[in-house]
């Protein structure tokens, strides 16, 4: 399936930003199934497609509702092996790196909090016939473990986000001083985000 056929099947909304950069057939298949499986679910809770980005090795699809967003992102980039995809639940600006990096959690963290006995991690990136099955399973997990978030109740989301960021290190900047020796200091914006979201 080519990218033109993809867009014929998946009509773009007026508010949606769409970017493509030589997408691979694996990423097109993944994106098409994400849209077909997740859109009906999240739209029932008031979320709408905000951004669809498909590249050779990466797909990112974001749904927004007011200040909340759900980001589904899958990578087959060679250095990212084993390939995976994630469902991210976030609040605030889904486009600003520092904001989404510190003000979001992966669905698997919510699953781990709700049911600690279950092994939780990102999903293995599916290929071929397993794409639909994998995404249908992920959609079931979103409805089960992300239900409070979908309904706009952010209490559990905030609790997990605080736990996640509490012991997280701010980003580091390594730079030479006037003598050519390297010093390390915390990157200020990530320090501020850690304080804000811990």
Angle subtended at Cα 191 by Cα 188 and Cα 195, rounded to the nearest 5 degrees = 145
Same domain, 15 and 51: yes
Q: Are residues 73 and 60 in the same domain?
A: yes
Residues 130, 174, single domain; the answer is: no
DSSP-derived 3-state class of residue 89: strand
Same-domain pairing of 65 and 10: yes
Give me the average pLDDT of each 10-residue run along the chain (198 residues): 54 63 92 95 96 94 96 95 96 80 94 93 96 98 98 97 85 75 71 66
pLDDT at 4: 46
Residues 133 and 195 in one domain: no
My answer on whether 84 and 180 are in the same domain is no
Q: Which residues pair with 74 in a beta bridge?
A: 59, 85
Shared domain for 45 and 139, answered yes or no, is yes
Domain that holds residue 186: 170-198
- The pair of structure tokens assigned to 66 is 């007011």
- Helical axes 188-197 vs 155-166, angle rounded to 10°: 140
**Whether residue 53 sits in one domain with residue 16:** yes
Whether residue 117 sits in one domain with residue 20: yes
How much is the pLDDT for 173?
A: 76
The answer to whether 139 and 41 have CB atoms below 8 angstroms apart is yes
pTM: 0.85
How far, CA to CA in Å, does 7 sit from each of 15, 50, 64, 66, 148? 15, 15, 20, 26, 32
Whether residues 162 and 96 share a domain: the answer is yes
- Nearest-angstrom CA–CA distance, 132 and 7: 19
Domain count for the chain = 2
153, 182: one domain: no
Closest CA to 158 of 89, 57, 76: 89
Asked if 118 and 147 sit in the same domain, the reply is yes
């Amino acid at each position: 399936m080519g990218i033109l056929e993809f867009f014929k099947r998946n009509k773009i909304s007026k508010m949606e930003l769409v970017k493509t950069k030589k997408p691979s057939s694996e990423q097109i298949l993944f994106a098409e199934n994400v849209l077909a499986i997740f859109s009906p679910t999240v739209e029932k809770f008031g979320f709408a497609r905000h951004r669809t980005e498909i590249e050779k090795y990466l797909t990112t699809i974001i749904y927004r509702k007011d200040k909340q967003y759900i980001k589904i992102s899958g990578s087959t980039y060679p250095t990212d092996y084993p390939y995976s995809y994630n469902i991210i639940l976030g609040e605030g600006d889904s486009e600003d790196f520092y904001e989404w990096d510190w003000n979001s959690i992966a669905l698997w963290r919510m699953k781990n909090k709700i049911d600690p006995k279950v092994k939780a991690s990102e999903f293995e990136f599916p290929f071929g016939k397993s794409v639909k099955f994998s995404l249908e399973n992920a959609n079931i997990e979103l409805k089960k473990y992300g239900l409070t978030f979908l309904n706009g109740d952010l209490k559990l989301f905030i609790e997990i986000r605080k736990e996640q960021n509490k012991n997280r290190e701010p980003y580091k900047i390594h730079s030479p001083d006037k003598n050519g020796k390297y010093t390390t200091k915390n990157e200020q914006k990530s320090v501020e985000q850690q304080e804000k979201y811990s």
